[in-house]
């Protein structure tokens, strides 16, 4: 009886040693190559990284989410997601609550205040929705299991972000297995990717830490610094509508990059008729947006390009700009 009990317990233990560790120790395709990179780069403990990756889980929901991002929608479906009266009014509240802080950051970094507010509004509804995926799961899923049926293989991008994340956690003393964020690995109120966090986050409240989750000051300062470092031009235009005619060279419309290439005057020669108030030598790109039954065209300037450094989608940049205008109107009101 006793012997049988021990035997049973032993069997249970052996089974658990086998199954429990195999459940806990997740192996991922490409993990060995990644660990080699960790070793080559130095600075991180390979065994700590391995232990962390072993605990990271592949999430089908992350693969599903990256396969259908909101950015794929046409403008007339994309715009209503962000340009709601709730997001406008909460933006006014957020600005009013943090007036001094936003003014100080905007002055220090030479950035327009309304754009800082609008970016935080579009990213996380002013810090309310920062994402509930474990960052380690998000970056392991996208770095090791990126869906191969999408137009572009972004494995290199996400595995680089995973490496940045591990370094960031190490540098800032963050719990790498606990931090949560978006399905793509963006973190905190401003949704900074790990590489951006390392490069652009600032300790704006000067408490000795860069905290983009709980410190509104650090978030506002970091967003302002990000825009500044990418070349924001204070008080300069972002975008302006443009008229086309039958002769307009529509094939010149920008699609991939919105880096200004031609001047307003040169665009005019190609048939894009901008506002007469614009400086003729101002560098611009041209954007086409799909309304339900027609297209609209926009000259986009340096500052528009800077917003696309935050998120590559021109519809994202346009939503940020329009939200900033609506919030600004509310601030000017009675």
CB of 215 to Ca ion, least distance (A): 5
- Report the residue number, 48 or 97, with the smaller CB distance to Ca ion: 97
Cα distances (Å, whole numbers) of residue 200 to 215, 220, 227, 246? 15, 12, 9, 45
Residues 166 to 195: which contact Ca ion by CB under 5 A?
A: none
The C-alpha atoms of residue 284 and residue 292 are separated, in whole angstroms, by: 25
- Report the residue number, 62 or 174, with the smaller CB distance to Ca ion: 174
Of 72, 71, 77, nearest to 292 by C-alpha is 77
Please identify the residue of the shown chain whose CB is closest to the bound Ca ion.
203
Annotation marks residue 123 as catalytic: yes
Of 303, 283, 299, nearest to 232 by C-alpha is 303
In the block, tokens 């960031």 appear at 168
Our finding on whether 223 is near Ca ion (CB under 5 A) is: no
In total, the chain counts a number of residues equal to 334
Is-contact 286 253, C-beta < 8 A?
yes
Of 116, 112, 134, nearest to 61 by C-alpha is 134
CB of 125 to Ca ion, least distance (A): 22
Tokens of 34: 């990644």
Of 89, 184, 187, nearest to 129 by C-alpha is 187
Pairing of strands 180-181, 133-134: antiparallel
Report helix angle 135-144 to 46-55, nearest 10.
90
Across the chain, the runs of DSSP E, i.e. the strands, are 133-134, 180-181, 239-242, 262-263, 283-290, 295-300
- Report the residue number, 90 or 203, with the smaller CB distance to Ca ion: 203
Options 57, 96, 123, 178, the catalytic residue: 123
- Report the residue number, 191 or 215, with the smaller CB distance to Ca ion: 215
CB of 181 to Ca ion, least distance (A): 18
CB of 164 to Ca ion, least distance (A): 20
CB of 28 to Ca ion, least distance (A): 34
CB of 220 to Ca ion, least distance (A): 11
The C-alpha atoms of residue 285 and residue 269 are separated, in whole angstroms, by: 14
Count of residues engaged in binding Ca ion, rule: CB under 5 A:
6
Is-contact 28 145, C-beta < 8 A?
yes
Residues 199 to 218: which contact Ca ion by CB under 5 A?
A: 203, 205, 207, 209, 215, 218
Residue ranges binding Ca ion (CB under 5 A): 203, 205, 207, 209, 215, 218
Residues classed as catalytic: 123
């Amino acid at each position: 009886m006793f012997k049988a009990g021990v035997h049973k317990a032993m069997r249970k233990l052996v089974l658990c040693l086998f199954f429990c560790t195999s459940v806990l120790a997740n192996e991922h395709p490409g993990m060995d190559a990644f660990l080699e990179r960790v070793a080559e780069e130095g600075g991180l403990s390979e065994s700590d990284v391995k232990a962390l990756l072993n605990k990271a889980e592949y999430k089908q929901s992350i693969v599903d989410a990256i396969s259908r991002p909101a950015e794929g929608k046409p403008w007339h479906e994309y715009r209503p997601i962000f340009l709601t009266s709730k997001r406008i009014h909460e933006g006014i509240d957020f600005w009013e609550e943090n007036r001094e802080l936003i003014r100080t950051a905007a002055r220090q970094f030479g950035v327009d205040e309304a754009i800082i507010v609008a970016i935080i509004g579009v990213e996380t509804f002013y810090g309310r929705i920062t994402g509930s995926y474990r960052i380690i799961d998000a970056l392991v899923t996208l770095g090791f299991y990126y869906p191969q049926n999408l137009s572009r293989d972004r494995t290199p991008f996400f595995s680089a972000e995973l490496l940045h994340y591990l370094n960031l956690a190490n540098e800032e003393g963050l719990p790498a297995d606990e931090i949560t964020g978006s399905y793509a690995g963006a973190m905190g109120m401003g949704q900074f990717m790990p590489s951006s966090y390392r490069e652009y986050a600032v300790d704006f409240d000067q408490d000795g830490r860069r905290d983009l989750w709980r410190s509104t000051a650090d978030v506002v300062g970091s967003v302002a610094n990000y825009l500044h470092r990418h070349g924001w031009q204070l008080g300069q235009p972002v975008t302006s509508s443009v008229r086309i005619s039958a002769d307009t060279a529509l094939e010149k419309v920008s699609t991939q990059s919105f880096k200004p290439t031609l001047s307003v005057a040169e665009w005019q020669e190609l048939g894009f008729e901008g506002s007469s108030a614009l400086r003729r030598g101002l560098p611009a790109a041209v954007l086409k947006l799909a309304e339900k039954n027609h297209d609209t065209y926009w000259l986009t300037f340096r500052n528009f390009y800077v917003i696309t450094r935050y998120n590559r989608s021109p519809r994202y940049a346009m939503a940020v700009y329009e939200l900033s205008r609506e919030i600004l109107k509310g601030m000017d009101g009675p």
